[in-house]
Amino acid sequence: AIELSILADYYGSEIAAYDIQTTRCDLYGQCSHFQEKKYSERVMLIYDELHYDAVAISAFEGAPVEFDQSSVPVRKDRTIGPAEELAFETC
């Protein structure tokens, strides 16, 4: 958790870690003890109790890897919309 918090601050992006065992999502970089950070981007990770894997969204089936999207915009309501539903489907 400490490492993900540091990375979120360093990259200026929220990090959502989805635990595939419990389907729990831990969100890092959203706020600190003193202020809400409100980063505009979020990256998603899948956690399997051993290691983390980055989630990438493909533009279409068979699309070249160069077109994969690894970060998504955070909406004004602090959600990421359908991208989050897709992440939970992989759990």
Range of the domain at 29: 2-89
Residue 16, pLDDT score: 93
Count of the separate structural domains present in the chain: 1
Walk along the chain (91 residues) and give the pLDDT tens digit of each residue.
899 999 999 999 999 999 988 888 899 987 655 456 789 999 999 998 889 999 888 888 999 999 999 999 988 888 888 777 766 665 5
Give which of 41, 55, 43 is closest to 16, Cα–Cα.
43
Residue 62, pLDDT score: 92
Residue 64, pLDDT score: 93
Contact 37, 31 (CB under 8 A): yes
Whichever domain contains 73, its CATH number is 3.90.70.80
81 CB contacts (<8 Å, ≥6 apart)? Answer: 75
